[in-house]
Amino acid sequence: MKATLLLKVDPLKPDLAKIKVVADIIKRGGLVAFPTETVYGLGADALNPDAVRALFEAKKRPLDNPPIVHVENVEDVDSLAKYVPEKAKLLMKKFWPGPLTLVLERSEAIPDVTVAGLNTVAVRMPRNKVALSLIRLSGCPIAAPSANLAGRPSPTTAQHVWDDLNGRIDAILDGGPARIGVESTVLDMSIDTPLILRPGGVSFEELKNVIEDVRLHPFVAAEQEVVVGEARSPGMRHKHYAPKARMVVVEGSVPAIMVKVKELVTQYTREGSRVGVLATDETSSNYLAYVVKSLGSRFNVEAIAQNLFRLLREFDSENVDVIIAESVPAEGLGLAVMNRLRKASGYNIVKADKLP
C-alpha cells in the first residue's frame, strides 16, 4: 500500500509549486491522478515502460487496452506519430485543446506497452490548465487512462479517484469537478475514412462540419454487445462503467418511457428488490421507488453528461439492487451519454414504445 498524496489546486490559477511536486513524481516513474475537462486521468510518463506497466496494474486494467497519450502542444505529436495527416492537423487546429483523441500511426519512440503492441497511438491535448501545466512541468507526454479501477464509472471528482485508487497511486491533484463529465471522442485517423471509435465530448455533428467523410463505428451507437474481433478499439471489448446493481435502460418517447419505468418499478419492488430510478428533472416526480435521482433537465444534455458518472457511483452507496435508467436522445453529446448508459447496463435495453 502506498501513501497517496492529495493536493488541492485552483483550477483557474493553479499553484505551479504544487504541480511541480507531482510533476517530479511523474519524472521518477510514479503515478499521479489529475483533472482534465472530461474526467480525471491517471498519469504516468508515456515513454517509461515500467511506469506504464505500473499504471495498468494500479487500475487493474488488462494489458491489451492502451491508454491515451496526453500532450501539451500540437508539436509534441510529431515525435509520437509516424506522420500527421492533413485532416488530423485541421482537427487539432479546430478542437485542441479539447475532448478529441486522435488515433495515428505510431512512431518507434513510444514503448510497446504504452500502445499495447498496436501500430497506432491515441493522442490528445486536454483543455484544462492543471493538466497542461502538469504535462509541461513533467517534460514528457503523459499516458493517462481514466483514473478509476477498470470496469468502474470514470471519475469526475478527486473524491471518486480517492475512493477507487487510494493506496494504489502516488498522488491526486484535486482541481474540482470535471466540466464535461464524459470522456473524449476517440477518432481513428490511421485509416482512409476517419472513424469514431468512442463518442465523447466532441460530437459527430461537430466533426462532420470540419471533415465531411467521418463515420461512426457501428458499435458506437450499438444496442448490443460487441463481437470480439470486429472491434477496432480495444476498449470496445471490455466491460465498462458498471455499477454494482444490475441496470436496465428504458428507451423511447418520453411518455412511453414514463409508463414503462413505472411498470418496471412496480414489478421489481413486488419481487422484493430495492429499486433505483435514474430519471430527469421533467419526469422524476412521477416515480415512487426506493431512490429516484435526476440526471438534470432533458433540455440540458451538458448537465446530464456532467452528472452521469457521479450518479452511477452514488447508486452504489445507496445499495440498490436494480437501477432503471431513462434514455435521452442519442444526438450531439447525447450519443456519448447513451453509449455509456447502454454499456453500464451490459446492453440490457427495454424498448418502451414496442407493442407487446
Q: Does 339 help bind Mg ion (rule: CB under 5 A)?
A: no
| Alpha-carbon distances of 125 from 70, 116, 128, 241, rounded to whole Å | 6, 20, 9, 24
Per CB under 5 A, the segment of 110-118, 139-147, 273-281, 295-303 that binds Mg ion is: 139-147
Mask for 189-208, x = binds ligand TXA (CB under 6 A) = --------xx----------
What 8-state DSSP symbol labels residue 107?
Answer: P
Q: Is 345 in the site for ligand TXA (CB under 6 A)?
A: no
CB 268 → Mg ion: shortest distance, Å? 29
Q: Compute the residue count for the chain.
A: 356
Contact 344, 247 (CB under 8 A): yes
The position carrying cell 487539432 is 92
Dihedral sign, CA of 193, 194, 198, 203? negative
With binding defined as CB under 6 A, does residue 283 bind ligand TXA? Answer: no
**Using CB under 6 A, which residues numbered 87 to 116 contact ligand TXA?**
99, 101, 103, 115
**CA dist., res. 201 & res. 335, Å (int):** 10
230 to each of 19, 76, 101, how far by Cα in Å? 41, 31, 21
**Which residues from 19-38 bind ligand TXA, rule CB under 6 A?**
36, 38
Site string for Mg ion, 141-160 (x = CB under 5 A): -----x--------------
33: left (phi over 0), alpha (psi -120 to 50) or beta: beta
Contacted entry of ligand TXA, Mg ion, none for residue 23, CB cut-off 5 to 8 Å set by kind? none
The amino acid sitting at 337 is V
Q: Of 41 and 296, which CB lies nearer to ligand TXA in the complex structure?
A: 41
> Which residues of this chain interact with Mg ion, rule CB under 5 A?
146
> Which residues of this chain interact with ligand TXA, rule CB under 6 A?
36, 38-39, 41, 65-68, 99, 101, 103, 115, 118, 120-122, 124, 126, 144-146, 183-184, 186, 197-198, 233-235
